[in-house]
Amino acid sequence: MANFKGHALPGSFFLIVGLWWSVKFPLKYFHQKGKKSRLSLHYQRLEIIEAAVRTLFSVIGILAEQFVPDGPHLHLYNEKQWVKLMNWQHSTMYLFFAVSGIVDMLTYLVTHIPLGVDRLVMAMSVFAEGFLFYYHVHNRPPLDRHIHSLLLVALFGGSVSVFLEVIFRDNIVLELFRTSLVLLQGTWFWQIGFVLFPPFGTPEWDQQEDTNLMFITMCFCWHYLAALCIVATNYSLVYWFLTRLKRQGGGEIIGIQQLKPDHPDQTALLNDSEEE
């Protein structure tokens, strides 16, 4: 879908995932800190829901790419030529993310699947996206090619980072890094939409102009800084929120006892941070 919507939609998808992760990973980190145990049941349930939602989104993406009015409607080869290969490529990308979501769910639901397989398939999904993009942007004007190829930096970097999580699982730094790269991808998709398909009647960008390329390169760095800021802000908000909960609970001993049966993790956090 080479138009503004076709970039805004996946952009929003990645943004939502990134925003959610920038809340989830700090939450998990603060709850786990100082505890030797595995993830609690609450978190497993959360992970399964997240994976299900990601799978759902991806399936919607596939269906949208296939059944938009000018889509291929599941026809691949017709009258001696390929039908709407762009849409098919996008569908393939979504398909990988759907598979990754399903594997994530299975890893938490089925005990005999080894931990790490979820990360491997996620790394492969991100790699496949980058791989398809790499061959996607041949034969396009310079600015178009450049603005898409910058995405490859985020994608291949993210793929390596997620792959590292196969070995260094539950490393908060790698998880925050991954979060920042997903946010970068989300905002960058919106940027691509604004540059290549100006939505509000603003004049088109000159695709050959060299300074436009220079600006876009720099702009990509700004987007990453913005992504870092979002991660940092949400991380702090989560901490502040948990500390406030703790103080409120700590003020009334009865409060803690009332919390205990419902939120076992949280009181563990409270005790834990008091020990430090």
Distance (Å, whole) CA 16 – CA 12: 6
Q: Does 213 bind a second copy (CB under 8 A)?
A: yes
Among 16, 52, 132, 137, binds a second copy (CB under 8 A): 132
Among 37, 139, 204, 254, binds a second copy (CB under 8 A): 139
Residue 124 as a binder of a second copy (CB under 8 A): the answer is yes
Selected from 2, 49, 56, 173, the binder of a second copy by CB under 8 A is: 173
In single-letter form, the type of residue at position 48 comes to I
Query: Which of the residues 103 through 122 are near a second copy (CB under 8 A)?
Result: 111-114, 116-117, 119-121
Closest C-alpha among 40, 38, 27 to residue 264:
40
CB of 254 to a second copy, least distance (A): 27
- Which stretch in 3-11, 36-44, 49-57, 165-173 sits in contact with a second copy by CB under 8 A? 165-173
DSSP of 196-213, one letter per residue?
A: HS-TTSPPPP-SS-HHHH
Q: Footprint of a second copy on residues 235-264 (CB under 8 A)? A: 235, 239
Q: Going residue by residue from 14 to 33, which x/- string records binding to a second copy, judged by CB under 8 A?
A: ---------------xx---
Q: Which is nearer to a second copy, 40 or 273 (CB)?
A: 273
Q: What's the closest the beta carbon of residue 157 comes to a second copy, in angstroms?
A: 9
Site for a second copy in 54-93 (CB under 8 A): 81-82, 85, 88-89, 92
For every residue of the chain, DSSP letters joined together read --SHHHHHHHHHHHHHHHHHHHHHHHHHHHHHTT--S---HHHHHHHHHHHHHHHHHHHHHHHHHHHSTTS-TT--EETTEE--HHHHHHHHHHHHHHHHHHHHHHHHH-TTSPTTHHHHHHHHHHHHHHHHHHHHTTTS-HHHHHHHHHHHHHHHHHHHHHHHHHHSTT-HHHHHHHHHHHHHHHHHHHHHHHHHS-TTSPPPP-SS-HHHHHHHHHHHHHHHHHHHHHHHHHHHHHHHHHHHHHHHHHH-HHHHHHHHHH-HHHHHHHHHHHH-
Stretch that binds a second copy, among 8-16, 45-53, 224-232, 245-253 (CB under 8 A): 224-232
| Residue 25 C-beta: closest distance to a second copy, Å | 10
Q: How far is the CB of 78 from a second copy (least distance, A)?
A: 12
> Which residues contact a second copy by CB under 8 A?
29-30, 81-82, 85, 88-89, 92, 95-96, 99, 111-114, 116-117, 119-121, 124, 128, 131-132, 135, 138-139, 153, 166-168, 171-174, 176-177, 210-215, 217-218, 221-222, 224-225, 228, 235, 239, 276
